[in-house]
C-alpha cells in the first residue's frame, strides 16, 4: 500500500482503492465473513437452459472483453445441466464476474466472496439473477475448447495489403475490411482478368502487420476454402497467394480477430436468404381431448431462431400463449372445446425479424352421446309413452336399456335391458308423475344415461248444478265440464225420481255444456252427468235435488 521513493512515503492509490472496494463489500454484511482467494478457472451451471453463455470479467478498468464478454464453451455436466468454463490468464486476474446470454444476466459476482468454483442461477433481484455457489471438478475432462478464452477485437480498422502486377502495390492501405459485432472482418475481391493475388493484412489501429511466417499459395478453384494463421509483425512479412484467377473470379476473405486467422473462400458466397417460417402443425382435425403439436422451424435470416406459439377460438379475439419466445421447436396444447381454433406460430431470428404462420384446427367431439327421446311429456291414464333410443359418437354398435318408476318411488322397473331394439312403449298404471331413464351402451361398454319426466292424468268429471234445493216449477241448471282426459269432450245428462229405477234422458252425448232440468213433482230427484273424452273414456257424476 505504501512505497519509499527519495526518502518520501507515497500511497499507492490503486491498492487503496482495491482494499476499499473489499471493505465496502464486507460492510454490507454482519457476522464473520470469509474472503477467499480468487482462482483462474470458474464454471457456470446452465440451469436455465440459456442458448449461449458469455462470461464478462473485470477488475477496475481491466476487463477480459467488451460486453457481453467472451463466449464460453462447454466443460461437462452437473445436476443434469451443461456446465460452461471461463479461464483467466492467472489466478486473481479479475475479481468480478457476470454470466449472461446477451440479454439476461447475473448480478455482479465478487469472486473473493465465494469459496466454490461453480455458479448457478437462483432467483432474481431487480431483474438480475442471483447465484448460488458450489464446487465442481472437471480436471479429468477436456472442454470443447480447453484453451483460454480468445480475445475478440472490435473497433479496429484492418486494411487488405495486396499485390497484382501492374495494377496494385503493397503500399496501398485504403482497402478496408468490413467489421461485424463478433470480431470478424470481411472483404470480397473480384479479379478483372487472368492474374495472381498475393495478400496480407495491416492493423491501421495498432499499426501492425498481420502476415504469414512462411509464404503459402493455392490455385483458384470455385468452392475451395483454406484457413491461415497470421502473426503480428512490425514489417509486412510473408503473404498468401491465390493463383490462376480468371476474369470475374471472386475471393472472399474473413479475418477472425479471436483466432487471429484469415479464411479464404474461392467463388461467390451465397447471398443471405430472407427469413422464412417453415413451421407446421401435427393435424388440422382432432378429437376433443386430443393435443395438437406445433412443429416450429425456419430457414434463412440471421442468428438463432426463437419461436412463439399462440392459439384462440376462431370466434374470439384473445390469444392464449402456449409458448413465449424460446428455442424449443415442439409445442403441444390441448383445446378445451369442440370448435375451430386459429393457431399462430411466430419465428424471430437474431436480428429481431419476425415472421408469422397461421393455421386452423377443427376440434370435434366424438364421445358417446345419448340422443334418445320420448313422444309425449304428458299422457292420459291408459295411454302409452313411446321411447325412441338414439346415439352418436363412441364406438358404435349401440344397445339401449329403458327403465321407469314413479317419481315418489326409489326402485326402477326394467322395461328393456340392453338390446339393439331402439323403440319401446310404456303404459303407466297410475295417474301420477313418472321418471324414465334411457341408457345407451356402445361396444366399448361406455354407458351414457338420459332422463325424462312424464305426467300421467285421468279423466275427471267436473260438472256442477245450480242448486240442490228448488221449488216446484223451477229448473236446475246443469253445467257440464271435464278434465284430464283426451280432448273433444261430450256430455250426457240424465235424471229420475230417487224412488224410481228408470232414468230419463235430458241430453245424450253432445258437446253442449249447459242443460236445464225442470222436475214435475215435489219430491227428491237424482241427476247423473256423464263426460266422455276423445278416447271414449266415460266419467260419471251424481247430484241429488230436493223439490218442494
Give me the chain's average pLDDT, please: 87
Q: Which residue has the higher pLDDT, 308 or 122?
A: 308
Q: Are 545 and 468 in contact (CB under 8 A)?
A: yes
Q: Which residue has the higher pLDDT, 476 or 112?
A: 476
Radius of gyration for the chain, computed over Cα atoms and rounded to the nearest angstrom: 50
Residue 162's CB is within 10 A of a number of other CB atoms, namely 24
Q: Are 262 and 312 in contact (CB under 8 A)?
A: no
Query: What pLDDT, on a 0 to 100 scale, did the predictor assign at position 30?
Result: 42
Query: What pLDDT, on a 0 to 100 scale, did the predictor assign at position 181?
Result: 65
Which range of 11-15, 201-205, 221-225, 280-284 scores highest in mean pLDDT? It is 280-284
CATH number attached to the domain at 34-134: 2.60.40
pLDDT above 70 (res 153):
no
CATH architecture of 369-457: Sandwich (2.60)
Residues with Cβ within 8 Å of 332's Cβ and at least 6 positions away in sequence, in order, are 291, 292, 293, 294, 322
| Element at 233 (helix H, strand E) | strand 231-233
pLDDT band at 171 (very low <50, low <70, confident <90, very high): confident
Fold of domain 460-547: Immunoglobulin-like (2.60.40)
Residues with Cβ within 8 Å of 241's Cβ and at least 6 positions away in sequence, in order, are 196, 197, 198, 199, 215, 216, 217, 218
Task: Enumerate the domain spans of the chain.
Answer: 34-134, 158-266, 276-345, 369-457, 460-547
Q: Are 16 and 24 in contact (CB under 8 A)?
A: no
Query: What pLDDT, on a 0 to 100 scale, did the predictor assign at position 137?
Result: 80
Q: Which residue has the higher pLDDT, 169 or 56?
A: 56
Q: Which three cell numbers stand for residue 264?
A: 479464404
Query: What pLDDT, on a 0 to 100 scale, did the predictor assign at position 197?
Result: 87
Q: Which residue has the higher pLDDT, 271 or 210?
A: 210
Q: Of 46-50, 181-185, 224-228, where does mean pLDDT reach its minimum?
A: 181-185
**What does the pLDDT look like over 340-361, one tens digit per residue?**
999 999 999 988 899 999 999 9
For 121-148, what is the mean pLDDT? 73
Query: What pLDDT, on a 0 to 100 scale, did the predictor assign at position 316?
Result: 93
Strands (E), 420-475: 423-426, 433-441, 447-457, 460-461, 464-465, 469-470
User: How far apart, in whole angstroms, are the C-alpha atoms of residue 203 and residue 158?
Assistant: 5
CATH number attached to the domain at 158-266: 2.60.40.3620
Which range of 81-85, 112-116, 188-192, 511-515 scores highest in mean pLDDT? It is 511-515
pLDDT above 70 (res 451):
yes
For 18-31, what is the mean pLDDT? 49
In CATH terms, are 34-134 and 158-266 the same topology? yes
pLDDT above 50 (res 61):
yes
pLDDT above 90 (res 151):
no
Query: What pLDDT, on a 0 to 100 scale, did the predictor assign at position 404?
Result: 97
Query: What pLDDT, on a 0 to 100 scale, did the predictor assign at position 318?
Result: 93
pLDDT above 90 (res 189):
no
Query: What pLDDT, on a 0 to 100 scale, did the predictor assign at position 544?
Result: 97
Percent of the chain with pLDDT over 70: 89
Percent of the chain with pLDDT over 90: 55
pLDDT band at 11 (very low <50, low <70, confident <90, very high): very low
Residue 367 burial (CB < 10 Å; 0-12/13-18/19+)?
middle
Q: Which three cell numbers stand for residue 178?
A: 468490413
For 211-240, what is the mean pLDDT? 88
Query: What pLDDT, on a 0 to 100 scale, did the predictor assign at position 479?
Result: 97
Burial 112-123 (b: 16+ CB within 10 A, else e): bbbeebbbbbee
pLDDT above 50 (res 154):
yes
pLDDT band at 546 (very low <50, low <70, confident <90, very high): very high
pLDDT above 50 (res 540):
yes
Q: Which residue has the higher pLDDT, 370 or 135?
A: 370
Q: Of 26-35, 61-70, 384-393, 492-501, where does mean pLDDT reach its minimum?
A: 26-35
Q: Which CATH number fits domain 276-345: 3.30.160, 2.60.40, 3.90.550, 3.30.70?
A: 2.60.40
Amino acid at each position: 500500500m505504501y512505497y519509499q521513493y527519495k526518502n518520501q512515503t507515497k500511497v499507492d492509490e490503486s491498492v487503496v482503492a482495491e482494499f476499499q472496494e473489499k471493505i465496502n463489500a464486507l460492510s454490507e454484511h454482519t457476522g464473520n465473513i470469509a474472503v477467499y482467494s480468487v482462482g483462474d478457472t470458474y464454471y457456470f451451471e446452465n440451469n436455465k437452459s440459456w442458448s449461449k453463455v458469455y462470461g464478462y470479467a473485470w477488475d477496475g478498468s481491466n476487463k477480459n472483453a467488451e460486453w457481453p464478454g467472451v463466449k464460453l464453451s462447454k466443460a461437462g455436466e452437473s445436476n443434469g445441466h451443461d456446465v460452461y468454463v471461463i479461464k483467466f490468464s492467472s489466478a486473481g486476474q479479475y475479481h468480478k464476474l457476470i454470466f449472461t446470454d446477451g440479454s439476461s444476466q447475473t448480478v455482479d459476482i465478487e469472486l473473493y466472496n465465494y469459496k466454490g468454483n461453480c455458479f448457478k442461477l437462483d432467483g432474481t433481484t431487480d431483474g438480475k439473477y442471483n447465484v448460488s455457489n458450489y464446487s465442481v471438478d472437471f480436471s479429468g475432462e477436456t472442454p470443447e475448447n480447453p484453451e483460454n478464452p480468445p480475445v475478440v477485437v472490435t473497433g479496429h480498422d484492418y486494411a487488405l495489403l495486396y499485390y497484382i502486377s501492374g495494377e496494385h502495390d503493397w503500399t496501398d492501405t485504403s482497402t478496408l475490411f468490413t467489421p461485424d459485432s463478433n470480431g470478424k472482418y470481411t472483404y470480397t475481391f473480384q479479379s478483372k482478368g487472368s492474374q495472381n493475388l498475393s495478400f496480407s493484412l495491416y492493423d491501421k489501429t495498432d499499426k501492425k502487420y498481420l502476415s504469414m511466417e512462411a509464404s503459402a499459395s493455392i490455385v483458384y478453384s470455385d468452392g475451395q476454402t483454406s484457413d491461415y494463421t497470421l502473426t503480428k509483425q512490425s514489417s509486412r512479412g510473408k503473404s498468401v497467394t491465390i493463383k490462376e484467377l480468371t476474369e470475374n473470379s471472386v475471393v472472399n476473405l474473413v479475418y477472425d480477430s479471436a483466432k487471429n486467422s484469415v479464411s479464404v473462400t474461392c467463388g461467390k458466397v451465397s447471398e443471405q436468404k430472407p427469413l422464412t417460417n417453415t413451421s407446421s402443425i401435427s393435424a388440422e382435425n382432432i378429437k376433443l381431448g386430443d393435443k395438437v403439436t406445433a412443429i416450429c422451424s425456419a430457414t434463412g435470416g440471421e442468428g438463432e431462431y426463437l419461436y412463439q406459439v399462440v392459439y384462440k377460438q376462431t370466434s374470439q379475439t384473445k390469444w392464449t400463449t402456449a409458448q413465449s419466445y424460446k428455442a424449443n421447436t415442439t409445442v403441444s396444447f390441448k383445446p378445451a372445446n369442440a370448435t375451430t381454433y386459429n393457431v399462430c406460430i411466430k419465428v424471430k431470428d437474431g436480428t429481431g425479424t419476425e415472421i408469422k404462420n397461421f393455421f386452423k384446427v377443427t376440434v370435434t367431439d366424438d364421445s358417446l352421446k345419448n340422443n334418445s327421446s320420448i313422444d309425449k311429456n304428458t299422457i292420459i291414464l291408459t295411454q302409452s309413452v313411446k321411447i325412441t333410443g338414439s346415439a352418436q359418437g363412441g364406438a358404435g354398435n349401440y344397445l339401449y336399456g329403458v327403465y321407469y318408476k314413479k317419481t315418489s318411488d326409489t326402485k326402477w322397473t326394467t322395461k328393456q335391458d340392453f338390446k339393439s331394439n331402439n323403440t319401446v312403449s310404456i303404459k303407466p298404471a297410475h295417474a301420477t308423475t313418472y321418471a324414465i331413464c334411457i341408457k345407451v351402451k356402445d361396444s366399448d361398454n361406455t354407458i351414457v344415461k338420459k332422463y325424462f319426466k312424464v305426467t300421467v292424468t285421468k279423466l275427471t268429471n267436473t260438472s256442477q248444478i245450480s242448486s240442490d234445493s228448488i221449488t216446484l216449477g223451477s229448473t236446475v241448471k246443469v253445467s257440464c265440464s271435464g278434465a284430464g282426459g283426451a280432448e273433444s269432450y261430450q256430455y250426457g245428462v240424465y235424471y229420475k225420481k230417487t224412488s224410481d229405477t228408470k232414468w230419463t234422458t235430458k241430453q245424450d252425448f253432445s258437446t253442449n255444456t249447459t242443460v236445464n232440468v225442470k222436475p214435475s213433482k215435489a219430491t227428491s230427484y237424482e241427476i247423473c252427468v256423464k263426460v266422455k273424452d276423445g278416447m271414449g273414456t266415460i266419467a260419471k257424476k251424481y247430484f241429488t235435488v230436493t223439490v218442494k
